[in-house]
């Protein structure tokens, strides 16, 4: 081959079949490319100049993408601490809930407090009133141990007729008539003598005071449990007289007694005739029962209503009423005798 000949591999390739680059140069080196996660393992002396400046400004710091993270080490006490933390959290939430319940009460109800009384009626209306009468009546006895009076009730009615209370003020109060048609109950304290008089023992101020205490207890039970607004209590008369004296209670008159337990107002056990004036609740009984009324019944043909009229009590007014009632009773007896003889 002459010196002017070009080696076969260096000859011109008009068809473009020879590669323009060395194919071996396109293959990756045996060490492989530098991965981002390997940046921190590059020798710093190979990437700094003589002045110590970094020649790889984009190399990543520890913890970058691809950095190898050391495994987390958990303490052997961690589950115990987690359990205690959860328990303390639960106790805290329960304490907060209990405090809210104590302040605001159960949802839709009032906060629970001490019971108003050890006993309460199991029904309302007339049935509840009859339960109260049966409960309170036997508690009041004379000095021999005998029950003082029987307590009767049929709601706010007298001999089957529904009543509306008409309260007449005294002259010094203006003399106005106040009609109270609120829901109420009427109790009649009745001894076993004529006209509900007590047929045994001697009438006395202390016995009358004990009967007034009984009337107050009946009223408190009724106003607290029966949902009524007013209570009338008819007291037994002295022997030989008609039953004319009544006690009258409205809810607002005894509001403070209704807001606290019954034992805070009246002693749990009723006193006797001999001990009633020395009972710890004597002053309260005197304060709440000092006003008495004379009662009478009046019918109205205009609206077919019956009124229980309550007038301020006075001895003179009571004597006058007693005479009128005696006259009516005599006329009624005469009419019955005449009818009987004519029949």
pLDDT digits 0-9 by tens, 53-106: 554 455 444 444 455 555 555 556 556 556 556 666 665 666 655 555 454 544
CB 129 within 8 A of CB 222: yes
Angle at 276 between CA 275 and CA 278, to 5 degrees: 70
Which pLDDT score is estimated for 95? Answer: 65
Give the residue, 11 or 120, on which the prediction is more confident.
120
Alpha-helical (H) ranges within 137-204 are none
pLDDT at 297: 92
Give the ranges where the chain is alpha helix by DSSP (H). Answer: 78-104, 125-136, 205-225, 255-258, 282-288, 315-342
CB 98 within 8 A of CB 112: no
pLDDT in tens, 242-296: 999 999 999 999 999 999 999 999 999 999 999 999 999 999 999 999 999 999 9
Alpha carbon distance 88, 99 (integer Å) = 16
Task: For the chain, give every domain's residue range.
Answer: 125-332
Mean pLDDT of the chain: 79
Whole-number Å distance between alpha carbons of 224 and 138 = 20
The dihedrals phi and psi of 115, each to the nearest 5 degrees, come to -65, 140
The per-residue pLDDT for range 311-322, each reduced to its tens digit, is: 999 999 999 999
Distances (CA, A) of 262 to 76, 88, 218, 241, 278: 61, 42, 11, 34, 19
């Amino acid at each position: 081959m002459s010196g002017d000949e070009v080696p076969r591999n260096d000859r011109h390739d008009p068809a473009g079949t020879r590669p323009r680059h060395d194919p071996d140069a396109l293959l990756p080196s045996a060490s492989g490319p530098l991965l981002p996660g390997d940046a921190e393992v590059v020798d710093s002396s190979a990437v700094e100049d003589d002045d110590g400046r970094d020649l790889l400004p984009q190399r990543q710091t520890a913890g970058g993408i691809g950095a190898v993270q050391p495994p987390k080490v958990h303490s052997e006490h961690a589950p115990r601490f987690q359990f205690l933390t959860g328990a303390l959290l639960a106790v805290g939430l329960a304490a907060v809930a209990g405090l809210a319940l104590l302040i605001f009460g159960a949802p839709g109800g009032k906060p629970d407090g001490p019971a108003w009384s050890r006993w309460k009626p199991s029904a309302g209306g007339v049935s509840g009133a009859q339960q109260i009468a049966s409960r309170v009546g036997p508690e009041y006895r004379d000095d021999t141990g005998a029950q003082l009076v029987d307590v009767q009730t049929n709601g706010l009615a007298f001999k089957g007729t529904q009543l509306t209370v008409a309260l007449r003020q005294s002259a010094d109060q203006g003399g106005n008539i106040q009609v109270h048609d609120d829901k109420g109950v009427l109790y009649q304290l009745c001894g076993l003598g004529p006209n509900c008089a007590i047929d045994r023992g001697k009438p006395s101020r202390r016995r009358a005071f004990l009967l007034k205490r009984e009337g107050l207890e009946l009223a408190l039970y009724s106003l607290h449990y029966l949902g009524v607004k007013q209570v009338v209590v008819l007291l037994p008369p002295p022997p030989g007289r008609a039953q004319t004296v009544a006690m009258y209670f409205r809810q607002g008159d005894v509001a403070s007694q209704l807001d606290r337990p019954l034992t805070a107002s009246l002693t749990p056990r009723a006193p006797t005739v001999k001990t009633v004036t020395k009972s710890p609740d004597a002053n309260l009984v005197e304060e709440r029962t000092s006003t008495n009324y004379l009662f009478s019944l009046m019918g109205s043909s205009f609206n077919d209503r019956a009124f229980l009229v309550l007038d301020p009590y006075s001895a003179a007014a009571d004597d006058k009423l007693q005479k009128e009632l005696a006259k009516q009773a005599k006329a009624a007896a005469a009419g019955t005798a005449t009818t009987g003889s004519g029949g």
